Structure 1
């Protein structure tokens, strides 16, 4: 089996998933009242700033949350196979892989939000913290763009 990078996995998934920009999602929220937004980031990320009324389902448990018979099962999500679902993460990469997975699991109308929550914030749409207080756009910008440290970079040579 050929080894692939995360970027290559995402690139392979993208032709098979539908993507929406944040402004498209904003419109869909008005046009489709049954639209479900599923935020697949880790709890720490979600608590910093999330889209109001989004369902938090970390990527690590997404598949079991979407199926019956697991401790992680979320009935609302299992029963949403025929509803429109928009997956969100920080930048839109994790959701590309997750959208492909949900499509394979039989979800009929699943989308990945391109640019993720960072793009939502850049478009100046509201984000809310763990207490459901609206987050300042500039503060969210800092939190949504964590630095990559030197030891996280590929060694040269």
Structure 2
């Protein structure tokens, strides 16, 4: 094999390795949790015993939430001043280990963070509702108010 062919082969191998390392993985469990649409979330809630976790702030939760949801905020966003011991990472033991967990927030971003926290804590049946409660209400599904 001549020198030019070796250079081509080495370049090809480097590119192939880079693709294998950096290419996104397929499947719907990219980070150990499953993303579900609001329609799938509604079916899950209607058909199974699911722990419904709202990870928004107390003011957001009090204005409206999905009936049966448990509030455990994931961050201090939206002007909340909760101490770190009131947030999900410190309260993860309040989430049952023997149930499916459906996580939602306002638009779907905080719930991804919360889903990752749960997976890292050893939970395996974690479902992230894409689009959050905005998508839920946009689909015409009911909410309740604590106010």
Tell me the TM-score normalised to structure 2 length. Answer: 0.69
| Residues 16-55 of structure 1, C-alpha deviations (whole Å, 9 max, x = no match) | 13111111111111221x2011000001111111000100
The SS at the match of 1:121 is helix
- In structure 2, what is the Cα distance between the partners aligned to 1:130 and 1:59? 19
- In structure 2, what is the Cα distance between the partners aligned to 1:30 and 1:114? 18
| Residues 26-85 of structure 1, C-alpha deviations (whole Å, 9 max, x = no match) | 1111221x2011000001111111000100111141011113xxxxxx3xx2xx123100
Does residue 114 (structure 1) correspond to residue 140 (structure 2)? The answer is: no
Does residue 31 (structure 1) correspond to residue 57 (structure 2)? The answer is: no
- In structure 1, what is the Cα distance between the partners aligned to 2:41 and 2:55? 16
Q: Is the 8 A contact 2:74 2:113 kept in 1?
A: no
Stretches of structure 2 that go unaligned for 5 or more consecutive residues are 1-28, 76-86
| Residues 81-120 of structure 1, C-alpha deviations (whole Å, 9 max, x = no match) | 2310011100011111110110110111001100000000
Number of residue equivalences = 107
Q: Is the 8 A contact 2:38 2:130 kept in 1?
A: yes
The SS at the match of 1:66 is helix
- In structure 1, what is the Cα distance between the partners aligned to 2:104 and 2:47? 19
- In structure 2, what is the Cα distance between the partners aligned to 1:50 and 1:30? 16
- In structure 2, what is the Cα distance between the partners aligned to 1:97 and 1:40? 10
Q: Is the 8 A contact 2:101 2:125 kept in 1?
A: yes
Does residue 82 (structure 1) correspond to residue 98 (structure 2)? The answer is: yes
Q: Is the 8 A contact 2:112 2:128 kept in 1?
A: yes
- The residue that corresponds to 2:90 in the other structure is 64
Stretches of structure 1 that go unaligned for 5 or more consecutive residues are 1-13, 68-73, 132-157
The SS at the match of 1:59 is coil
List, as ranges, runs of 4+ consecutive aligned residues in structure 1 with deviation greater than 4 Å. none
